[in-house]
């Protein structure tokens, strides 16, 4: 193999933390925005299954954001995406997931597999000397992990920052401090960050935190300085996934995409298009009818926040019913499935009628109902993915199949059900289509299709 083609180098960094909620996304966005403003081409990835952080990371970098996960997306997929990014980028940023060593696989596993230096972000708002202990532990807990330093977040004052820096055993690990400020806080709700396009000042927030980062040692790194993070990326063992050639050729798939249905992996869209599908987008909130299509995809999102509008759009409800009556396929996952049931009861106890294409009701709750990596066997293969939801559903429909835990993990309960009614298939399960393109294609084909 020609090593000049198979290997390429690019500065890269994994932004990690000791736990969730420390400010990883804020710092990753700030770093991406800062270097993008300086004219560098920045590519950002998100470690693990996540739909919301990539909206902000895309806004900050100006480029699509894909997921990296050694199990869900696969090691070869990760290698290929990093290799491709390194060929065109001046800087690669990977945002970690949860704490650095949390999960199977963890962000640390990804960093170690690809030789990514780790930047630790620590919320230091309520600590002083313990900051140094945390930094030391993150750096030395696992042998062989490359460490690029530590950044203190939500710091109270310059004096506080001084105490934090002094607590480090190795002063060279200090990358600076971001002060506590409401001007660049990224707001959250029950499923994660509020999406960037819901805020009129999203880019202003990113510019504010990028300006703050520019005052730190981390933010003052030049193009030459970034070479200290240079990583050699080897091409994956395959140039791409085994996409069934033409499996969806000539098929038009309507994809719901608006504030209520927004949990879309960019790679899932790429997968469908690679199999020949033409994608058309519509808004169940605003449109009165489906666009002309052969199949329908209802991704996850926040139907509970828009239940009254969705249920009140009688024209769209009728159009959806006509699609199903015509026997055209529907794949609905999580929020998309929730909207198909008879009604949704929100956390305030209010019940809202929905589309009534699946019998049963959905009830929102304040506690998390399910979370974790899972896989689902369907016609054509096994799809990898995950589940994450705050609702439960009660239905008389039998489960056509159920998800299984990812290897090395255990399920609490029976796994997520796959429901089928007529041409509709639905589940709380979020699928990563490229894990089995043949199985993904079958979701959008009639059972009678070859």
The catalytic site residues sit at 334
Beta carbons of 81 and 74 less than 8 angstroms apart: no
CA distance 233 to 79: 7
Separation between Cα atoms, residue 313 and residue 196, nearest integer Å: 25
Distance, in Å, from the CA atom of 338 to the CA atom of 305, rounded to the nearest integer, reads 12
Name the token pair of 178: 């971001």
Beta carbons within 8 Å of 91's beta carbon, 6+ residues apart: 10, 11, 12, 13, 32, 35, 40, 41, 42, 43, 226
Strand partners, 233: 8
Q: 87 is written with which tokens?
A: 């060929």
- Residue 123's beta-bridge partner residues? 153
Q: Compute the chain's Rg from CA coordinates.
A: 23
CA gap 246, 400 in Å, rounded: 28
Contact 412, 371 (CB under 8 A): no
Say which residue the tokens 């999406």 belong to: 195
Q: Which two tokens stand for residue 69?
A: 């996960």
Cα–Cα distance for residue pair 188/276, rounded to 1 Å:
37
Interior/surface letters 29-47, b for 16+ CB within 10 angstroms, e for the rest = bbbbbbbbbeebbbbbbbb
Report the distance separating Cα 298 and Cα 155, nearest Å: 42
DSSP three-state, residue 161: helix
| Among 379, 377, 364, 380, CA closest to 429 | 377
Give the HSE-up count for residue 289: Cα atoms under 13 Å, Cβ half-sphere. 6
- Please name every residue paired with 388 in a beta bridge, in sequence order, or none if there are none: 371
Distance CA 91, CA 211 (A): 18
């Amino acid at each position: 193999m020609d090593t000049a083609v198979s290997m390429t180098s690019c500065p890269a960094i994994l932004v990690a933390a000791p736990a969730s909620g420390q400010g990883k996304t804020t710092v990753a966005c700030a770093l991406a925005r800062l270097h993008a403003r300086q004219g560098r081409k920045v590519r950002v990835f998100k470690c693990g299954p996540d739909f919301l952080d990539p909206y902000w990371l895309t806004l900050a970098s100006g480029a699509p954001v894909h997921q990296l996960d050694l199990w869900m997306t696969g090691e070869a997929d990760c290698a290929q995406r990093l290799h491709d990014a390194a060929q065109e980028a001046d800087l690669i940023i990977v945002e970690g997931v949860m704490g650095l060593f949390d999960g199977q696989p963890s962000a640390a596993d990804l960093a170690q597999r690809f030789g990514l230096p780790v930047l630790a972000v620590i919320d230091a708002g309520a600590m002083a000397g313990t900051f140094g202990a945390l930094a030391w532990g993150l750096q030395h807990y696992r042998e062989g992990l490359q460490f690029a330093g530590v950044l203190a977040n939500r710091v109270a004052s310059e004096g506080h920052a001084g105490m934090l820096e002094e607590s480090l055993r190795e002063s060279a690990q200090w990358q600076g401090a971001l002060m506590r400020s409401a001007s660049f806080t990224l707001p959250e709700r029950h499923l994660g960050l509020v999406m960037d396009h819901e805020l009129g000042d999203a880019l202003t927030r990113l510019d504010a935190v990028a300006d703050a980062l520019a005052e730190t040692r981390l933010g003052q790194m030049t193009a030459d300085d970034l070479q200290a993070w240079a990583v050699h990326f080897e091409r994956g063992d395959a140039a791409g996934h085994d996409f069934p050639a033409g499996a969806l050729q000539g098929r038009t798939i309507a994809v719901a995409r608006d504030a209520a249905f927004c949990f879309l992996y960019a790679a899932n869209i790429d997968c469908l298009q690679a199999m020949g599908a033409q994608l058309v987008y519509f808004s169940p909130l605003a449109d009165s009818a489906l666009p002309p299509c052969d199949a329908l995809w209802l991704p996850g999102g926040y139907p509970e926040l828009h239940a009254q509008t969705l249920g009140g759009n009688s024209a769209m409800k009728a159009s959806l019913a006509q699609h199903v009556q015509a026997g055209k396929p529907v794949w609905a996952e999580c929020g998309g499935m929730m909207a198909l049931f008879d009604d949704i009861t929100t956390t305030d106890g209010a019940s809202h009628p929905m589309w009534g294409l699946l019998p049963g009701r959905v009830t929102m709750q304040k506690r998390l109902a399910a979370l974790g990596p899972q896989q689902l066997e369907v016609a054509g293969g096994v799809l990898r993915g995950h589940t994450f939801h705050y609702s439960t559903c009660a239905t008389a429909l039998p489960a056509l199949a159920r998800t299984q835990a990812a290897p090395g993990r255990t399920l609490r309960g029976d796994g997520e059900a796959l429901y089928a009614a007529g041409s509709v298939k639905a589940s709380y399960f979020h699928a990563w289509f490229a894990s089995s393109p043949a199985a993904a294609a079958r979701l959008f084909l009639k059972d009678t299709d070859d």
